[in-house]
Amino acid sequence: MPATWIVLLVLALAVTGYVLGRSRALKSAGGDSRNLHSLPRYYGAHVLLMTLVPALGALALWVILQPLIVDNAISAGLPDSAIPEASTRGLVMSDVRRVADGLDLAVSEGTISAEDAASLRPEFNNIRDRLGEVGVALGSDVSAPVLKAAQEYRRASSTASLLMTITVLAIALLGFGYALSRTNGEFRARNVVESGIKALLVAAASIAILTTLGIVLSLIFNTLEFFKLYPAWDFFFGTTWSPSFGGGSELGILPLLWGTFYISLIALAVAVPIGLFSAVYLSEYAPRRIRSIAKPLLEVLAGIPTIVYGLFALLTVGPLLLKVFGDGGLDWMQAGTAVMTAGLVMGIMLIPFVSSLSDDIINAVPQAMRDGSYGLGATKSETVRQVILPAALPGIVGAILLAASRAIGETMIVVLGAGAAARLSMNPFDAMTTVTAKIVSQLTGDADFASPEALVAFALGMTLFVITLGLNVFALYIVRKYREQYE
Amino acid sequence: MYDAPTLERDVTEAKTKFSARNVQVWYGDTHAIKDVNVEIEDNTVTAFIGPSGCGKSTFLRCLNRMNDTIDVCRVEGDIRLDGEDIYDKKVDPVQLRAKVGMVFQKPNPFPKSIYDNIAYGPRIHGLARSKAELDEIVENALRRGAIWDEVKDRLDAPGTGLSGGQQQRLCIARAVATQPEVLLMDEPCSALDPIATAQVEELIDELRANFSVIIVTHSMQQAARVSQKTAFFHLGELVEFGETGHIFTNPEDERTESYITGRIG
Ligand SMILES: Nc1ncnc2c1ncn2[C@@H]1O[C@H](COP(=O)(O)OP(=O)(O)OP(=O)(O)O)[C@@H](O)[C@H]1O
Ligand SMILES: [Mg+2]
């Protein structure tokens, strides 16, 4: 039975359980809910949860584990002779899976009958062609052991699926029966449901944390793999970035970090003053009508996809800068793509980010604080400078650091606006590139994933991750420190 | 404790400081102050009394245009300070508020050190020419606010870290430090113990020599102790205004009488 049907069945059982549990509890109290320990709906919810959660948990676990276990079992059963030279067990297993999937498909489309699929012999039936008919392309003819393994694979999978259906439904029924049997007026359903809900929330939180952990671990392992092929010292302190897929590449991160840093700096130099000042204007000076128009407009700016900003950099800002600083003008700039172009556009992208965060923070400063200052005869700007901004400072610093981590992680604008040359230069009108842009270019194309040229992407990602993590931790620290002082 | 009999208070022929004519205040559609007329004299302590929500704070905030900061608030009528219409277009509310200081109903110290809280006004208005002078102003204000002894060793500590009553006195000291001509005090003693209350009342009496003081209070005894004039507000109207002794011994309106004898409130 497919998993969808199992889920629907369990759901139906759970809903029935809700109704039954509720009415059973009411009946045990003689129809008067005041005699119950908890509200009737808690008894219903108790049965519902007991039916649903263990069964669906088991289903999820099973769906994840079954392919792993079946795979292992079949793989162990493959004779060594079935593995051709210059191939690995893993590659052969992926053939096995393809054939098994192909047979499944053929059976479901009716080109092969179910019995035939189980008893096909490679010597007699042209399997490759017959699978090709249903759209499964195989690289070579199917050898006898592979076919045998695929047939076994199908058999094991279908047995396992049957077993899964039975187990899950049994667990659901057990939970249903157990919960219903415990339902009576004395039973503390509310407490049980409360702790059940808490467990669900904990599970959700742990999934989020475990996923993050998984990503970080995979980053770390691949980075270590990279450092086995390429010395860490040369990576962190090398000043040249020139990958060549033929070998002998130089993969120094410094030019990329410098590009990232330089572009982010220009972006922040644009975004922080403009964003902050517009936030102050909007929250302290603007009449209500202007505020109600301007604030949504600014937020629209935040909704523009970064690729559009990238186009804007490439087609508008770059040529404009070139006209002023290029050949015809000051002659500092060779091409439209430059640190300045990307930095300016990224700054524009960050303005709404800074301003809307700061605006919220400034608005959170209590009105009493303003009253106190105005009441002493302070002007608006004095109040803003001496009372509101200091009170809002930790939040604003946090907002700026968040903007900085966005600038560091930004890719599209850099790819389109800053060029692709990795370079250590002080001239903001030179083309440079950043860590993120290089991660993209290292992984696109026909890279061999085991080469240092591809693995370096993980090391770059890891470095970036550590930097943004550091920034965020620092932001939190600042916010905490000042909060303690002021509250 | 300080508790001078009201009748001995000399009310010399003082000149008018504030004069309000037909003042109306609306918060959106709520009519919070209805047609109030009142003359507030210089060198006098005037008490505003009345049940909660009757508009005492609202009227007080009209006198230094603090209501300008509330979007929905609309003030009509004529309020004059020393004969000058304070709602005139030419008048700068910032300057007005420097002259008419205010202590708010809820203590609102700035998230700064105690010293900077007090020095805020003097710095803005350039009252001190040197650091030493500023130190002196700060110490003086804190002494008058009856809080010097408690904070003199921790002037660098944040003002928000003080207790509620200490914050209230800090705010009084902060208002005094700016050296206003009129001081508006909205329930300045609501969180103070009897000793601090007595000290603040002493300060109010002292201020009377140079300033005009208006104090909102829920304590009849306090009104009787510190004020020479009392105004009784009820549901946005000024019901009765006159000499404190007269109002407390011989009220003309029966609403005033019920309120001070504790029957409405
Ligand atoms: N900011 C505001 N917005 C709308 N209505 C307000 C506002 N401030 C006060 N009001 C209304 O105006 C009326 C008078 O309020 P006010 O604060 O002046 O009362 P009060 O006499 O000071 O009361 P209390 O003794 O409790 O401080 C009340 O009905 C109140 O609901
Ligand atoms: Mg009030």
Pocket perturbation via mutation, ligand 1, pick of B26, B29, B33, B54 by most ligand atoms within 8 A of CB: B54
Domain contains A337: yes
CATH H-level superfamily of B16-106+180-261: P-loop containing nucleotide triphosphate hydrolases (3.40.50.300)
Query: Would you call A368 and B175 a contact, using CB atoms and an 8 Å cutoff?
Result: no
What mean pLDDT do residues A461-479 have?
88
Give the CATH number, domain containing residue A369: 1.10.3720.10
Judging contacts by C-beta atoms under 8 Å, the chain B residues touching residue A382 are 124
Please say if the pLDDT value at position A484 is more than 70.
no
A265 and A301 assigned to the same domain: yes
Do the bridges between strand B212-216 and strand B45-49 make them parallel or antiparallel, or are there none, so unpaired? parallel
Residues A282 and A326 both lie in one domain: yes
Dihedral over Cα of B85, B237, B246, B192: its sign: negative
Tens digit of each residue's pLDDT (9 = 90 or more) over A312-362: 888 999 888 888 887 777 777 777 788 899 999 999 999 999 998 899 889
Contacts for B147 with CB less than 8 Å, ≥ 6 apart: B166, B169, B170, B173
**Preferred mutation among A374, A376, A387 to probe B, highest tally of B CBs within 10 A:** A376
Residue A64 CA to residue A4 CA, distance in Å, equals 15
Q: B50 CA to middle of ligand 2, Å?
A: 10
- Token pair listed for A204: 């959700």
Residues A217, A152, single domain; the answer is: no
Model confidence, pTM: 0.76
Say if residue A82 is in the same domain as residue A208: no
- Token reading at A181: 């049997």
How many domains is chain A built from? 3
Joined tokens for residue B205: 């009496």
Residue A50 and residue A125 share a domain: yes
Rg (CA), chain A: 32
CB A51 within 8 A of CB A17: yes
Helix segments in A183-253, DSSP class H:
189-229, 232-237
Supply the DSSP symbol for A138.
-
Residues A83 and A81: their CA atoms lie apart, in Å, by 5
A345 CB-contact burial (10 Å; exposed 0-12 / middle 13-18 / buried 19+)? buried
Determine how β-strand B229-234 pairs with β-strand B237-243.
antiparallel
What pLDDT is recorded for position A212?
A: 92
The amino acid at A99: V
Residue A406 lies inside a defined structural domain of this protein: yes
Give the pLDDT confidence of B230-254 residue by residue, as tens digits.
999 999 999 999 999 999 998 888 8
Q: Which long-range contacts (CB under 8 A, 24 or more apart) does B255-262 make?
A: B256/B232, B259/B49, B259/B50, B259/B51, B259/B232, B259/B234, B260/B49, B260/B220, B260/B232
Preferred mutation among B64, B81, B118, B124 to probe A, highest tally of A CBs within 10 A: B124
Q: What is the pLDDT of residue B116?
A: 94
pLDDT of residue A125: 64
As a whole number, mean pLDDT of residues B87-101 equals 91
Task: Give the tens place of pLDDT for each residue, A121-175.
Answer: 766 567 777 777 777 777 667 777 888 888 888 888 889 989 999 999 999 999 9
* Buried/exposed B66-89: b ≥16 CB within 10 Å, e otherwise: bbbeeeebebebebbbeeeebbee
Task: Tell me: do A57 and A104 sit in the same domain.
Answer: yes
Which ipTM score applies to this complex?
0.88
Is residue A332 in a domain?
yes
Q: B108 touching A, CB under 8 A?
A: yes
pLDDT of residue B7: 45
The residues that bridge with B100 in the sheet, in sequence order, are: B182
Q: How far is the CA of B59 from the centre of ligand 1 (A)?
A: 10
Spatial contact of A193 and A111, defined as CB atoms under 8 Å apart = no
Position in ligand 1 atom list of the atom nearest CA B55: 18
Q: Give me the domain span that covers residue A248.
A: 241-486
Delimit the domains of chain B by residue range. 16-106+180-261
| Interface contact A485-B102, CB threshold 8 A | no
Q: Which chain B residues are within 8 Å of A366, Cβ to Cβ?
A: 108
Same domain, A283 and A426: yes
My answer on whether A153 and A218 are in the same domain is no
A374's CB contacts (< 8 A; 6+ apart) are: A383, B66, B69, B94, B97
Domain assignment present for residue A235? The answer is no
Q: Do B175 and A486 touch (CB under 8 A)?
A: no
Residue type, A307: I
Residues A197 and A174 in one domain: no
Residue minimizing CA distance to atom 12 of ligand 1: B32
Answer yes or no: do A199 and A278 share one domain.
no
Inter-chain CB proximity B120 and A376 less than 8 Å: yes
Say yes or no: A400 and A291 in one domain.
Answer: yes
Distance B227 CA to ligand 1 centre (A): 23
Q: How far apart are CA B48 and CA A392, in angstroms?
A: 36
How close is the Cα of B53 to the center of ligand 2, in Å? 7
Cβ contact (<8 Å) for B111 and A369?
Answer: yes
SS3 B237: strand
> What is the structure's pLDDT at A486?
52
Residue of A nearest to B124 (CA): A378
In a domain, A234, yes or no: no
* Domain match, A468 and A344 both: yes
